[in-house]
Structure 1
Amino acid sequence: MVFWIIALVIALLATAPLVLAFRRARGLGRLDTTKAEVEIGVYRDQLSEVDRDLERGVMSPEDAKRAKLEISRRLLEADTARGKADTAKGQASLIGAIALGAVIIGGGLWLYSDLGAPSYEDLPIERRYDIAAENRANRMPQVEAETQARPIAALQEPDPRHMELLTQLREALTERPDDLQGYKLLARNEAVVGNYREAYTAQQEVIRIKGDAATADDYADLADMMILAAGGFVSPEAETALSKALSRDPQNGPAIYYTGLMFAQTGRPDMTFRLWNGLLSSSAPDAPWVPAIRGQIEAVAQAAGVRYTLPPLSDGSTLKGPSAEDVENAADMTPEERQEMIRGMVDGLSARLANEGGTAEEWSRLISSLAMLGETDRATAIWKEAQVIFGATPEAMAIVRDGAVKAGIVK
């Protein structure tokens, strides 16, 4: 209701100058060209002429009196006619002004009802918080989210030998339910082939076996697998795992990132920005969650009503290349030795990205470098893994894709 009152007041204020200008325009610059006005001017001239004739003795006083009486009568009739005409014109002008105002206001209301959202309720900040709390409390459970999730590509295309070993591992663990290393291996390999539900089920066994010794990383890995199984949706069960991870390590990067994602999905971009901004400022440039945050935080800040400019990547985020000494030594190498050196550098980059994560530029370089070395299958596997990591970040995904295009594995 408050909105409509404000909108009506604004419409009236905007229409009033137009209406006043319309009314004034009806009388400005108007010439005395109406019949009544012409007659009045003629009769006044005749009265003056009678007086002059009387003074010159051309007309007798009796004739002058009779003439003045007749001219005055006609002058009064003309003035009465002019008054009626002015009144009619004033009424017409008022009606026209009212009609103009009605057209403007009515047209505005019709346009808003057609293009706007007249039934949209007022949403003060307290009401928005309440809606976000309702959304968070009424989220789909993990099982339902998995049934509606869009499949996420596996980290690599499983070969028959790999699947055979995975089957053997599953069967072996049915006879060794407390084999911690076995379940760790199972969780990791199930995730690699895209069996995220089986992966987080195995990770739950890891946490069960560890008991109170389960770490923040164990719970963060569990949440990660659950979120992947749900197509990127943070379910209440995944949130519980994130809470346990943060209770053990409040600075756990993956847990903070996914908690921010959960707030974004439930309507609290302000909380998402607060978490992601702090995590981004405290993270190493090659942290795996940095590209995802950088690709989304500006939109999150805008939704939260925060003026924010994404800072440039720090110097630590630049790609590591060969040193001057490496270049000097390479000049004296044979082609085979030089190829071996390049392969060692590529393997080192691959190992670092696998263990510590890295930027989209580094993943792009790794893919293109592997293709140059002739390891197309390995480059393809890295490309699939990168799609999972950067899939939610179009900006970073475009960088990685460029490397895949250069490698010839993507057209």
Structure 2
Amino acid sequence: MTFWIIAIFIAALSAAPLGLSLWRARGIGKQDQGQADTALRVYRDQLAEVDRDLARGVLGQADAERARTEISRRILDADRQKGKSDTAIAAFPVWGAALLMAGVIAGAVALYTSLGVPGYPDLPLTERLRVAEESRKSRALQSEAEESAPVFQNEIDPNHLDLLERLRAALETRTGDLRGHELLARNEAAVGNFVEAYQAQSKIIAIKGADATSQDYAELADLMILAAGGYVSPEAETALVRALERDPDNGTAIYYSGLMFAQNGRPDRTFTLWQGLLNSSEPNDLWVPAIRDQIESVAQAAGVRYTLPPQTGLAGPSADDVAAAADMSDDDRQSMIRGMVNTLSARLANEGGTPQEWARLVSSLGVLGDTERARAIWGEAQVVFGADPEALATVRAAAEQAGVAQ
């Protein structure tokens, strides 16, 4: 009841200026009418004065006629003004202003009844946090999310599928083959079989046991989230927690943890995680584009004023870097380029990267004359980007330039 009293009071305040304007217009009409009546009396007195002056001989006949004509014109003007005032008074009666105000208030109440949520209770911050936590704990499991996830479809090379089938068959009797399961997880993901991919990743972690790394668990969570269509399930959250226990700075785990909080009504925690991760990330880290696309809306939902910083360029050796080394001695130049290439190679192996970065790595290895390694990177890129023809074409162009594309 308190809400309705406040709402009606606010609506009345909104309608008051309109009613006041009408009331003032009515008052102006009354004032104009009084002024017109006064002018008529004055003009009639002037006509009588002209007649008296004519009788006393003060005015001649011609002058008296001209005076009467001018005064008569003024009388007609005053009479017309009085008629307009009467119309204004009739057009804006007091009851009309009151009725209009009541209509505005009734319309506002009806609009809220239709579009709003009458009777919805107050939801203080503590209550909202409690509801969000309950929602997080009771959300759908991984298997339930997979049932409603979109099916990934892509044209796949039959030879690739044949090799994948042979790899699956071989690993049925080689359950402890770590390298085999790593290849299986990558290839299953490349063809869009994310459920099979995270199952293979789970076996990798089981084989490694206590030696499983933060990145192993982050990759498991990544595959589970892909299998669930972008949804972070409780099982994926468990993998993220284990990844962060081993490395609190794991970017993949931090990004998906923020996504999980966003999906469960805690944009404030999402913003905190994503802002810190964005500030500490390289421009070409995999999660940077996703964070940049969403962080401003997340900040708005969290009630935070935030402006996205400008994007900077990619890291890693470029053609300019290689050209800049031309004036160095052969040993120094090779050492510098190899150091940059090794840094990029290690990051791509551990964290992944964009097709442009993979292409840059292949090109740089070609410049160094390390064709065997360039060919190996090209082969790995075909697995990583096998499901994305456009991305694969970018790397293929670099491989052809380096002379390692088949």
Fold similarity call, TM over 0.5: yes
What is the root-mean-square deviation of aligned Cα atoms in Å?
Answer: 4.4
Q: CA deviation at 1:355?
A: 5.5
Conserved 8 A contact 1:273-1:300: yes
1:122 aligns to 2:151 (yes or no): no
Partner-residue secondary structure (3-state), 1:11? helix
- Structure 2 counterpart of 1:126, one-letter code: T
2:10 alignment partner in structure 1: 10
1:146 aligns to 2:146 (yes or no): yes
Q: CA deviation at 1:127?
A: 2.8
Matched ranges for 1:81-96 at <5 A: 93-96=93-96
Conserved 8 A contact 1:290-1:359: no
1:311 alignment partner in structure 2: 309
- Structure 1 counterpart of 2:309, one-letter code: P
State the alpha-carbon separation in 2 of the partners of residues 298 and 33 from structure 1. 63
- Structure 2 counterpart of 1:268, one-letter code: R
Matched ranges for 1:13-32 at <5 A: 13-28=13-28, 29=31, 31=33
CA change 1:240–1:23 in 2 (3 A) is same
**Whose RCO is larger (CA < 8 A, sep 6+)?**
1
CA offsets 1:88-133 (integer angstroms, 9 cap, x no match):
x9xx955334322211211222333345454655333223222322
1:301 aligns to 2:291 (yes or no): no
2:103 alignment partner in structure 1: 103
Conserved 8 A contact 2:167-2:180: yes
1:236 alignment partner in structure 2: 234
1:321 alignment partner in structure 2: 318
Partner-residue secondary structure (3-state), 1:123? coil
Deviates more, 1:320-329 or 1:243-252: 320-329
1:191 aligns to 2:198 (yes or no): no
Q: CA deviation at 1:383?
A: 6.8
Conserved 8 A contact 1:319-1:361: no
CA offsets 1:38-86 (integer angstroms, 9 cap, x no match):
9xx9xxxxxxxxxxxxxxxxxxxxxxxxxxxxxxxxxxxxxxxxxxxxx
1:289 alignment partner in structure 2: 287
1:218 alignment partner in structure 2: 216
Q: Which of structure 1's runs of 4+ aligned residues deviate more than 6 A?
A: 348-352, 363-367, 377-384
CA change 1:181–1:2 in 2 (3 A) is farther
Conserved 8 A contact 2:270-2:298: yes
Deviates more, 1:22-31 or 1:191-200: 22-31
CA change 1:148–1:128 in 2 (3 A) is same
Q: CA deviation at 1:226?
A: 0.4
State the alpha-carbon separation in 1 of the partners of residues 358 and 106 from structure 2. 59
2:368 alignment partner in structure 1: none
Conserved 8 A contact 2:215-2:350: no
CA change 1:307–1:224 in 2 (3 A) is same
Partner-residue secondary structure (3-state), 2:318? coil
State the alpha-carbon separation in 1 of the partners of residues 388 and 344 from structure 2. 14
1:49 alignment partner in structure 2: none
- Structure 2 counterpart of 1:122, one-letter code: D
State the alpha-carbon separation in 2 of the partners of residues 294 and 223 from structure 1. 21
1:256 aligns to 2:254 (yes or no): yes
CA change 1:217–1:27 in 2 (3 A) is closer
Conserved 8 A contact 2:358-2:381: no
How many residue pairs are counted as aligned between the two chains? 322
2:60 alignment partner in structure 1: none
State the alpha-carbon separation in 2 of the partners of residues 378 and 174 from structure 1. 24
2:135 alignment partner in structure 1: 135
- Structure 2 counterpart of 1:266, one-letter code: N
CA change 1:326–1:356 in 2 (3 A) is farther
State the alpha-carbon separation in 1 of the partners of residues 245 and 351 from structure 2. 23
State the alpha-carbon separation in 2 of the partners of residues 166 and 19 from structure 1. 79
Q: CA deviation at 1:301?
A: 0.9
CA change 1:380–1:113 in 2 (3 A) is farther
| TM-score, scaled to structure 2 | 0.65
State the alpha-carbon separation in 1 of the partners of residues 267 and 233 from structure 2. 17
Partner-residue secondary structure (3-state), 2:168? helix
2:59 alignment partner in structure 1: none
Conserved 8 A contact 2:141-2:234: yes
State the alpha-carbon separation in 1 of the partners of residues 163 and 237 from structure 2. 32
Q: CA deviation at 1:244?
A: 1.0
Percentage of matched positions with identical amino acids: 55
1:201 aligns to 2:203 (yes or no): no
Long gaps (5+) in structure 1: 42-88, 330-344, 368-376, 388-396
Conserved 8 A contact 1:222-1:241: yes
- Structure 2 counterpart of 1:252, one-letter code: N
Matched ranges for 1:51-90 at <5 A: none
State the alpha-carbon separation in 2 of the partners of residues 299 and 278 from structure 1. 16
State the alpha-carbon separation in 2 of the partners of residues 94 and 384 from structure 1. 78
